[in-house]
Amino acid sequence: MIALGADHGGYELKEAIKKYLDERGIAYKDFGTFSTESVDYPDYALKVAEAVASHECSEGILVCGTGIGMSIAANKVPGIRAAHAEDVFSAKAAKEHNNANILCLGGRITGPGLAVMMVEEWLNATFQGGRHQKRIDKIAEIEKKYSK
């Protein structure tokens, strides 16, 4: 199941992504927001990141105005590798090379057509492991070093 979250700047793009997931029969849980009324993106980043970190959901997609704030906030949760992407190649590589478990998009910088292509490539990609695994392990060590 995919965890979805957005702030007011990402609401409309989140809705377009939901339509794509519905058409493909891909299960998701929408953690909000549910309108374009102004909200604080860290609240939604945390909900999605915790759902992914706890394995309630297998992966997550977060959308704010640029995707940057969501990425910063989600990456504060141990075990999360939230990747901000602006193109299809980066979205796919985020999964294949970085084992990104959350994809972050910008509702004010990415149109729905491109976003759907990015989501599709990211969902269909597989972590390649190998030389990339040792780098993921190093990220986990950094996390451990600074965890309380």
Helix (H) / strand (E) containing 57: none
Contact call for residues 106 and 7 (beta carbons, < 8 A): no
Q: Which two tokens stand for residue 43?
A: 């609240």
Q: Is 64 a catalytic residue?
A: yes
| Residue whose C-alpha is closest to residue 122's, from 142, 148, 96 | 96
Q: For the chain, state the CA radius of gyration.
A: 14
What was the pLDDT predicted at 143? 93
Contact call for residues 61 and 110 (beta carbons, < 8 A): no
- pTM metric for this prediction: 0.96
Q: Is 132 a catalytic residue?
A: no
What was the pLDDT predicted at 147? 84
What was the pLDDT predicted at 13? 98
Selecting among 8, 57, 64, 104, the annotated active-site residue is: 64
For each successive 10 residues of the chain (148 residues), what is the average pLDDT?
98 98 98 98 98 98 98 97 98 98 98 98 96 95 89
Selecting among 8, 57, 84, 97, the annotated active-site residue is: 97
